[in-house]
Amino acid sequence: MEKIRISVVFFYFVLGKYDFLPTSPIESSDVSNFIDDWDYRIEPHNIPLLNFSSTNHDLPPPPKIHNIQYLVKKKKKPVLPKKMGNAAYSIVDCKWCNLGVSMLLDEIKRGASYDAIKDNVTKMCVDFGINTKEVCAGIFDVYGRTVLAAAKKAHINAKQICSLVLGEACGELIKNPLHQWNVTFPDVPKPPVHSKSLIRGLPTYKVLHISDTHLDPNYAEGSVSNCLEPLCCRNESSEGIADPIFAGKWGAYAKCDSPRILIENMLKHITEQHPDIDFIFWTGDLPPHDIWKQTKQYNLDIIKETTQQMIEHFPSIPIFPAIGNHESVPAGTFAPPWVEEDNSTSWLFNELLNHWKRWLPDSSTTTIQRGGFYSVLLRPKLRLISMNTNYCHTYNWWLLVNSTDPAKELKWLIHELQKAENNNEKVLLIGHIPPGSYDCMKVWSENFYRIVARYESTITAQFYGHTHADEFQLFYDPSDLSRPINIAYLGPSVTTFENHNPAYRIYYIDGDHPKSTGHVIDHETWTMNLEEANKNGEPKWYRLYSALRDLDMESLLPEDWNNFLKKMVNIPDAFHQFYRYYYRDSPARPKCDNKCKLQILCDLRSGRSHIRHTICHDLEEKFGSNE
């Protein structure tokens, strides 16, 4: 995945400013008018969508005495390293980014043609070892006209571009006044925060979470899995490498996505193992990672096929989707409504509406067509809001033009949450990109974090995908970063890309009863051993772990997750167990040194992006050196 991200970032950096390029043969619509008169204060959906109440589902077995509890007694005082660590992610070095843009400015000023720029970008991409010539040229072909149209209107310099895309890796000294904005809240006091307690044995909802299937219709058993391209396991994957590793029947622990039979087998297993599922979170990323080859029709075909798979296996179960960054073409590009004509994302939103409307009320049509988000009342006092978090994606190039609350989604979200608070509803938030992810733009994430803090008593939990790992992100009180206030569950991916076992998640959510909190009571991850499946011919799916039972947790409230995080910081075996679950016990998981441990632990703390040096300073001290 890193090769793909580096290729896309590299492509934009070497373009730098496009203001000096001739408009021919590149056509771009006028996107300078940012006026958006949409009235986001629409009346929320208010007729319960689910026509059944929750039941007493059989929860996973109760907690047992675990090795980690014994290890607490053996806790040793940590020895601080001599060097500070760096919790910030850096896909491309910021200095290299700035230098690359500056080197290209002179050539661009000379009026280089589109084809000349493509040739130079492709050559540099190959010379720097970023990727093959085919991939480098393909990235330019797919992203070129969109990125150039956006860059033509972006009134920021090279350092500001690098700062927006790379975030805190470029430091805090670079100012972007055109990209500083704040949401406003209704003049209503925040309700008092009351302590919560979760009671087992009461009715619950059993919820399936599927994410990041990444169906690859061109997956080929026996093809090269360790190819040079960003996506392998295809007949055209590069050959001639020294030690080829060949793709198995059910997938590969490499840069490979899901064969059709893997997804079919998993869905069949779910219907047999979990016939009592109440509803489904489906958090996006349906197409594969071949972003240098994709077309709109290709992605629409993948979306149609994957949707049909879900319908066939769950014909009567409500499904609540969220849109992934890979659904769009170019991947990650979601133009705000003020971008019209050929660069608009309406082609995708309209098609998603055609698929999603079988599960959603008519009231969701307006917001799905506008920006791929919606709100529905599930049951009295329980609401679900599906966000399009791709509007914070740092590789959403239109944000370089104007990042201010794209599509007014956050204003709409505040309106929905305030109405929910007024009606004493609890809210489940779903989306694709977690707001704390390093590829979520800082200013958007910062505003979202404030929204979660304001509606702390209304939002009970959040559910995302995107990272492919089995993990979580904690949200803290912005005025007291020691007080956890919310939890985001990051569901594991179905795709093995990269080094993962395929998996899905089951949640048990507090259900219909007078004292319901709407919180997650427990969750469990189900997986299968890909290596064994390829060897023996058939997957065997099994429950990998239950959070309460195997993580030795009292409950799954934010403070409990915070305590568990502290345990992983201080007890190596607790982290090692979590890391095994992180990759779903994959035998291909890489060794995790201090730098890896620092990054993962900081991820778990970071419900807000690009404040890692602030929120993870103690971790940087503790895990600062691999020596």
Distance from the first to the final alpha carbon of the chain: 28
Structure-block tokens of residue 148: 């150039």
Is the pLDDT at 133 greater than 60? The verdict is yes
The C-alpha atoms of residue 351 and residue 303 are separated, in whole angstroms, by 9
Q: How far apart are CA 246 and CA 231, in angstroms?
A: 13
Given pLDDT bands bounded at 50, 70 and 90, which one contains residue 92? low
Strand partners, 507: 207, 523
Nearest alpha carbon to residue 1 among 522, 538, 439 = 439
Quote helix, strand, coil % in the chain, to nearest 5: 40, 15, 50
Q: In which band, very low, low, confident or very high, does the pLDDT at 162 lie, cut at 50, 70 and 90? A: confident
3 state SS for 409-439: HHHHHHHHHHHHHHCCCEEEEECCCCCCCCC
- Residue 213 φ/ψ region, left for φ over 0, alpha for ψ in the -120 to 50 degree band, beta for the rest: alpha
* Other C-beta atoms lying within 10 Å of the C-beta of residue 517: 16
Contact yes or no for 429/459 (Cβ under 8 A): yes
Looking at residue 189, what is its pLDDT?
95
Confidence at 508, pLDDT banded by 50, 70, 90? very high
The mean of the pLDDT values for the chain is 86
Question: How many other C-beta atoms are found inside a 10 Å radius of the C-beta of residue 177?
Answer: 7
Is the pLDDT score of 168 beyond 80? Answer: no
Q: What is the predicted pLDDT for the residue at 110?
A: 64
pLDDT confidence band for 76 (50 / 70 / 90): very low
**Alpha-carbon torsion (593, 594, 600, 603), positive or negative:** negative
Is the model more confident about 80 or about 332? 332
Distance CA 119, CA 136 (A): 10
- At CA 148, angle to CA 145 and CA 151, rounded to 5? 150
Tens-digit pLDDT profile for residues 288-327: 999 999 999 999 999 999 999 999 999 999 999 999 999 9
How far, rounded to the nearest angstrom, does the alpha carbon of residue 152 sit from its chain's CA centroid? 28
Judge whether 285 is annotated as a binding position.
yes
Q: Which two tokens stand for residue 9?
A: 């970032």
**Pair 3, 131: CB distance under 8 Å:** yes
For residue 310, give both structure tokens: 């879900």
The answer to whether 617 is a known ligand-binding residue is no
Q: Are 470 and 581 in contact (CB under 8 A)?
A: yes
How many C-beta atoms lie closer than 10 Å to residue 37's C-beta? 5
Establish whether 432 is an annotated binding residue. Answer: yes
SS3 9: helix
Asked if residue 598 lies in contact with residue 616, where contact means CB atoms within 8 angstroms, the answer is: yes
pLDDT band of residue 16 (cuts 50, 70, 90) is very low
pLDDT for the residue 470? 97
Whether 557 has a pLDDT exceeding 50, the answer reads: yes
Most distant CA atoms of the chain, gap in Å: 72
Tokens in use for 556?
């799954």
Q: How many angstroms separate the CA atoms of 462 and 185, rounded?
A: 21
Q: 523: annotated binding-site residue?
A: no
Domains of the chain: 2-33+89-179 (no CATH), 204-219+257-622 (3.60.21.10)
Residue 120, pLDDT score: 80
Is the pLDDT confidence value at 23 over 60? no
To 5 degrees, how large is the angle CA 259–CA 262–CA 267?
A: 135
Note whether 345 and 328 are within 8 A (CB): yes
Region 464-481: what's the mean pLDDT?
A: 96
The owner of tokens 């934009």 is 12
Contact between 334 and 406 (Cβ < 8 Å): yes
Q: Residue 308 class from Cβ within 10 Å (0-12 exposed, 13-18 middle, 19+ buried)?
A: exposed
Cα gap 222→246, rounded to integer Å:
5
Which residues, 6+ apart, have CB-to-CB distance to 620 below 8 Å?
A: 84, 85, 86, 87, 598, 613
Q: Are 336 and 343 in contact (CB under 8 A)?
A: no
State residue 493's pLDDT score. Answer: 98
- Give the confidence band of 393 by pLDDT, cuts at 50, 70, 90: very high
Tens digits of per-residue pLDDT, 366-389? 999 999 999 999 999 999 999 999
Cβ neighbour number for residue 468 with a 10 Å cutoff: 25
Residue tagged 């304001």 (tokens): 454
Least confident window among 83-92, 333-342, 467-476, 579-588: 83-92
Helix (H) or strand (E) holding 344: none
How much is the average pLDDT of 149-171?
Answer: 75
Residue 214 marked ligand-binding? yes
CB 596 within 8 A of CB 83: no
pLDDT at 82: 42
Assign residue 148 a region (left: φ > 0; alpha: ψ between -120 and 50; beta: otherwise). Answer: alpha
497's tokens: 């890309």
pLDDT of residue 109: 58
212 belongs to an annotated ligand binding site: yes
> Which of helix, strand or coil describes residue 245?
coil
In contact, 487 and 460? CB cutoff 8 Å: no
Helix (H, G, I), strand (E, B) or coil at 179: helix
